[in-house]
Amino acid sequence: MSYNKDKPKRNRSAWTFYSMEMRPKVQKKNADLNFREVTKKVNEDWKELSGKAKKKYIKMASEDKKRYQKELKKWQDEQTSESSEEELTRTRYNGRKKPIPRPVGARNSYQFFMMEKKKELKKSNPDMDSKKVNKKVSKAWKAISEKSKKKYTKMAEDDKKRYKKDWKKYEKDRPKTTSESESSSD
């Protein structure tokens, strides 16, 4: 799950509400206990609590869950679908953004041919090692006519167009580095 400072805080559990109420009381009674021991004591008290006594905290948790769902829906509606999705997938827990990955380079006609033929060779010869497969594919590429290569050349041209389009989007969306922003302000 990604971190987003504008996203509503998650709902609290019944135990969390109980703990928030009881922790100060337990600390007051037992000043010599450290944080871990206080938590352990609160947890033990929670386990011993009757269902009737827990009802208050369960109700508080239920109301908080409704609050969270309402705020989350409102927050999601405010987000623009494409930009928020991209933003959420790029954000880490500590709030820093991952760099936008560079677009995958365009493949040439031989690479398309190799991908296709490798699959065929691996199916018919599953125990053949990669080196031998690559040699066979290379020989096959050299042996085919220019007319047969046109199919792969067309695929390469289409991929080149895809790459140019992706590169333009990358250039537009990626954040400027400090050196780039300094040179543009000069």
Q: In the CATH hierarchy, which fold is given to the domain comprising 14-90?
A: DNA Binding (I), subunit A (1.10.30)
Query: Which pLDDT score, from 0 to 100, does residue 123 have?
Result: 87
Measure the CA–CA gap between 169 and 161, rounded to whole angstroms.
Answer: 13
- Contacts of residue 184, Cβ cutoff 8 Å, sequence gap at least 6: 176
Domain ranges of the chain: 14-90, 109-181
> The whole model's pTM is what?
0.45
pLDDT at 103 over 60: yes
Q: Nearest-CA neighbor of 13 among 46, 50, 48, 38?
A: 46
Q: What does the pLDDT average to over 165-169?
A: 89
Q: What does the pLDDT average to over 53-77?
A: 90
pLDDT digits (tens, 9 = 90+) for 15-30: 999 999 999 999 999 8
Same fold? 14-90, 109-181: yes
Other Cβ atoms less than 10 A from the Cβ of 105: the count is 12
Q: What does the pLDDT average to over 83-103?
A: 62
Asked if the 109-181 domain carries CATH number 1.10.357.10, the reply is no
Rounded mean pLDDT of the chain?
A: 83
